[in-house]
Amino acid sequence: MSLETEIAALVAANNKLIDYFSGKKTAIDAAVSAAVAAAPSIVRAYWVDPQLGDDNAIGTEASPFKTLQRAVDATPDGGRVTAWLARDYVLDKSILTAGRQLIVAAVAGSGRKLICNEFLPDGSDQLTRMGSFWLSNGSTLQLLNVTVSLPASSAGDLSAYYALAFASGSSAPILMQVRMYNCTLELRGTFRGRLIGPGSALIALSMTGTAVPSALNGSLFVGIAAGTLSKDLGHIITNLSSL
């Protein structure tokens, strides 16, 4: 067999291999695309109306949920949910985020309020807490275009978890992340709690378009005195220069 014949045979065999690979690749790509298309989205958006909503509804603007907890629970673990407030929302318990990335949002200019009230957890030996977000695993919290109305704190001892956001136990995220975008912080009296409570070794707080009232100086983080420079803290990441 001549050299030319051998080369031609090798080229033909190589072309067959290329054709086989291309065919398999096309089939694999099609199978992957079909699987991705069939997989349920882990990004959700729901409407919440505490007055007219129903937790047995479907969560649309026309058929809203009643509670923020229902919006969280309707989102797959590890997913992201935007809960749009149809009207002011009274938060008088801890929302269990359970691994979800939660965004509580209002339409810009709507004036929606997230009104945090005090409550007593189940059990007579529990201390007073405030309406809050209990972050766990990979949970994060974002508040967009809302007024956060903080309670006038009761007299006496308060729970260590008397805070807008906190974590606890082995499920606490390594980095607790809270972001406020175009929000207003409203004080209804003397606030003795914290904006960010205990539970995580590292904390990230971002304030964009959100002013911090001077009365909240020293009340942003547990154990951080008013006037502390954020650059001097190794465990807190924030765009606020002083706390």
Specify the pLDDT at position 122: 83
CATH classification code of 42-238: 2.160.20
Task: Map 156-187 to HEC letters.
Answer: CCECCCCEEEEECHHHCCCEEEEEEECCEEEE
Specify the pLDDT at position 23: 65
40 with 76: CB under 8 angstroms? yes
At 17, list the tokens: 């291999």
Please give the chain's pLDDT, 243 residues, in tens: 565 666 656 656 566 656 655 665 576 655 545 544 545 679 999 999 999 999 999 999 999 999 999 999 999 999 999 999 999 999 999 999 999 999 999 999 999 999 999 999 887 678 999 999 999 999 999 999 999 999 999 999 999 999 999 999 999 999 999 999 999 999 999 999 999 999 999 999 999 999 999 999 999 999 999 999 999 999 999 999 999
The domains of the chain are located at 1-39, 42-238
